[in-house]
Amino acid sequence: MRRFRSLLIDQADIRIPGLSVMTFALHRHLAEHEAIAPHRHRWCQALLYLSQQGRQAVDGAAVQVNPGTLILMPPGVAHAFRRSGRAAPLCLMINFRVRRARSRSVAVCSLTRSELSEIRHHLARLIRLQQTPGDALAWEGATLVLLTLMLCLRTAGWLGQEAGATAIRPSRAISGLLAAMPMAGSLAETVQRSGYHRDHLNRLVRGETGLSLGQFRARQRLIRAKELLTHGVRVGEVANAVGLPDQGYFARWFRRQTGQAPSAWSRRPRAAQP
C-alpha cells in the first residue's frame, strides 16, 4: 500500500557510463500514514527532505530529519521514517545504481541554503517542463536530474568515491593544509603556505572534497558556528570564533546559509538542530 503521493517524475530511466537513474520523484507522505516501516532496496537511494521534520532510522541509527537533510544509502541498508508533527513532509527521492555501489558508506549531511536553493530551482524547472509539449522534458529534464543527483553526491562525499570511505579522505598534504586553515584571515595566506597557484590548489581541494577552498572554509565556519550556538555561546563570540567579527555581517551570512538568525538557532531544542 502506497504511503506517499508522487508529485513529479516517477520513472527517469537515465543512463550514463557507471551510473543509471531509475526513479526521480517528489513524494508527499500521506496524512493518514504517520510512519514508513523498515525496508531495504537493491539499489542506491538518495532522500532529500525539503519541508517539515521527522526521524529517519538508517541501519539502526536514528537521524533527525529537517528541511535540507540529505541521506544517501548504498543497496541493502535498512531504513524507516516517522514524521514529527501533523504536517506531511515533502521529500525528493532518487533511486539509482552506481558502479561499486556496495563499497560505499551511508552518508547523512545537511545542504547549505544555497545548495538547497539550487535544487529547488532545478525542481521548479522540471515541473515547468512537464507542461511543455515535445522532447524538452526528456532532453533538458535528464540534464536537470543529473545535476541534482551530482550535487547530492558531491555534498555527501560520494562523487569520485570508488572503494569505501577511505577513497574520499583527502591526501595527507591536502588534509594537513585544510586542518590548519584558520577561520579568520585571507585565503591568500593558505594558498601561499601551500606553495601552489590558487587555481591549481582549488582543483586539488575540489578533487579531494568536492568543494573549492573558499567553499570548504565556509562549510567549516558554518559547522563551528552551529556547534557554538548549540552550546549557548553568545552571537558576538561565535562571530569572532569563526573569523567573521562583524556581528551584523555574521548574522546576515548565517541567515543566508540556514534560513534562520543565529539567536533563533541558539534557542532551538538540541534535538531539532541538524
Domain enclosing residue 181, as ranges? 169-272
- Taking only the tens of pLDDT, the chain with its 274 residues reads 344 344 455 567 788 898 999 999 888 755 444 567 788 999 999 999 998 888 888 877 777 788 888 899 999 999 888 877 777 788 899 999 998 888 888 888 778 777 888 899 989 888 888 777 666 666 788 888 999 999 898 877 787 544 333 333 445 677 778 888 888 888 888 887 776 777 778 877 887 777 888 888 998 899 999 989 988 899 999 999 999 989 999 999 998 888 888 988 877 654 444 4
CA distance 32 to 179: 48
Are residues 144 and 224 located together in one domain of the fold?
no
State the pLDDT at residue 95: 94
Are residues 100 and 146 located together in one domain of the fold?
yes
Looking up residue 22, the CATH number of its domain turns out to be: 2.60.120.280
* Helix then strand then coil, % of the chain, to nearest 5: 45, 25, 30
Enter the C-alpha cell of residue 46.
Answer: 538518495
Please spell the DSSP secondary structure of 78-137, one letter per residue: -EEEEEESSSPPEEEEEEEEETTGGG---EEEE--HHHHHHHHHHHHHHHHHHTS-SSHH
Are residues 182 and 161 located together in one domain of the fold?
no
Are residues 97 and 208 located together in one domain of the fold?
no
Looking up residue 249, the CATH number of its domain turns out to be: 1.10.10.60
The answer to whether 89 and 29 have CB atoms below 8 angstroms apart is yes
Residue after which a domain boundary falls, among 109, 144, 165: 165
When divided into structural domains, the chain yields a total of 2
The 10 Å Cβ neighbour count of residue 20 is 15
Are residues 241 and 255 located together in one domain of the fold?
yes
Does the predicted TM-score (pTM) go above 0.75?
no
